[in-house]
Amino acid sequence: MSELHHLTAQEQWDLLHRGELTPSELTEHYLARIERLDAELGAFITVTPDAARQRARTLEQAVPKSAPLWGLPFGDKDLTMRTGVRTTYGSRLFENFVPTESDEMAQVLDAAGGVSLGKTNTPEFGMTGYTESAVAPPARNPYDLTLGAGGSSGGAATAVAAGLLPFAPASDGGGSIRIPASSTGLVGVKPSRGLVPAASGVDKFAGLAVGGPIARTVADAAMLLDAMVAAGPYPFALRAPVSADGPLLGAAIRGEGRFQLGVMTTSPWDDALDIRLDPAVVESLELATSELDALGHGLEQIALEPSDYPELFTTIWQASAVTVPADGDELELLQPLSRWLVERGRRLPARDILLALSAASRFERSVIRQFSRFDAVLTPTLALLPQPIGWYDQIDGQRNFNQQVQVGPFTSFVNVSGLPAITLPVHQTEAGIPVGVQLIGRPGGEATLLAIGAQLERRIQWQRRHPAAWNQ
């Protein structure tokens, strides 16, 4: 029999339900891997072995197997509060903070029967597309430990790619699921605004940040997403409610359909910054296009109309830091970039913020209109390959922002538009570094994205690629 982490989350779930594996045995397997490997990977900020073992025993004794994630381990992103577990938000401001209640997402995953093993690494308040904070070692890319894993869900991606977790919940306010998933050879789904009740984005500034899954396969991602969605009720009627029997998982398993796809290599940032595609990124898009054409999908080159997107998003990103709970001497505890963001955001006139939010609403309608004749739009996930640890400027905030955009110019506009997107690990460089492509769907179009992803997965078999840590 293969090592347990060699199995997909679906296969592990099947063993649990047949009684050939217990939640305690699976929990011990992953805890042992974390203890053995995570010191050099930086996937976790906090590990909770005692609580995980107790949770597994409780599942075995008192929780019905009908719970959709029964017995499957996961890690909470360290932006999610869990009762009695240190929650740092990646910041020295909260380095020793232990909450007395759990956030809704933690409660949802518990109700689904999952077993939390601890807190996965994230940058300060999740505000950057790389995971290097002042409270923990950086999240490293398992395919090359000198490279970063991306962010802000970098710890979650590192854990899943290295076989420390079968899948992981994450969040995405400007690419924070898709950037690390692409960097580490995984599938990552950023859902439509409003789809996941506990992390809908509706209650977040500008509606940007939503919750979604990171996994090794399309079906595993759909399985976790179904559990997130099924909790209900919906903040508003995005589409017919997703029922608890897993319709998104069904779409991912069947992988059916022929669709009309746009293909886009330009981004809304092209006129504002020097955006260049790494040759390996071009190769990954060409490979995806070739495979999709062979599958019978219609393909058409497109580009977005010129817009004021760079100005509106820059204002929104800075304004999003206004509520960071730091004043006076507490500002000195923040990392330089975070402090710069807070100070810039707090100097913004209210008029500028309101104008940016209004412009974002117009941009959202414009993108949906321009994409409306397609079932999905294909882009690179990132423009550049994963960067070395320490590459991003930690002092000059504007330069840091520009660097993040130059790496990931295709992700944040999807959040502003409220659309679903999936990153798929279609390619690897000669050095073995993963390269992903992104599919952007219609509002509520997750099933289409999963179906297309499943078709590509069957042809490319990316789930067979693993970093060195996989066999350790």
What's the sign of the alpha-carbon dihedral 281, 282, 285, 291? Answer: negative
Helix axes 218-229 and 9-18, enclosed angle (nearest 10): 70
**Which of the following is catalytic: 102, 176, 182, 200?**
176
Which string of DSSP letters, residue by residue, matches 162-221?
TTS-SEEEEEESSSTTHHHHHHTT-EEEEPPTTSSGGG-STTSGGG--EEEEEESSHHHH
Q: Is 111 exposed, middle or buried (0-12, 13-18, 19+ CB in 10 A)?
A: middle
**Which of the following is catalytic: 152, 267, 284, 338?**
152
Range list of H helices, 120-264:
154-161, 178-183, 218-229, 247-254
Catalytic (active site) residue 182: no
Residue showing tokens 């790389």: 130
Spatial distance between the Cα atoms of 70 and 14, rounded to a whole number of angstroms: 10
Q: Which of 136, 121, 127, 11 is closest to 71 using CA atoms?
A: 11
Asked if residue 420 lies in contact with residue 440, where contact means CB atoms within 8 angstroms, the answer is: yes
Q: Residue 298: beta bridge partners?
A: 260
Q: Helix or strand or coil: residue 73?
A: strand
The CA R_g of the chain, rounded to the nearest whole Å, is 20
Catalytic (active site) residue 77: yes
**Which of the following is catalytic: 24, 77, 102, 133?**
77
Asked if residue 382 lies in contact with residue 281, where contact means CB atoms within 8 angstroms, the answer is: yes
Spatial distance between the Cα atoms of 226 and 231, rounded to a whole number of angstroms: 9
Largest CA distance in the chain: 63
Consecutive H or E run containing 309:
helix 309-319
* DSSP, res 4: G
Spatial distance between the Cα atoms of 398 and 379, rounded to a whole number of angstroms: 26
Catalytic (active site) residue 153: no
Would you name the residues annotated as active-site residues? 77, 152, 176
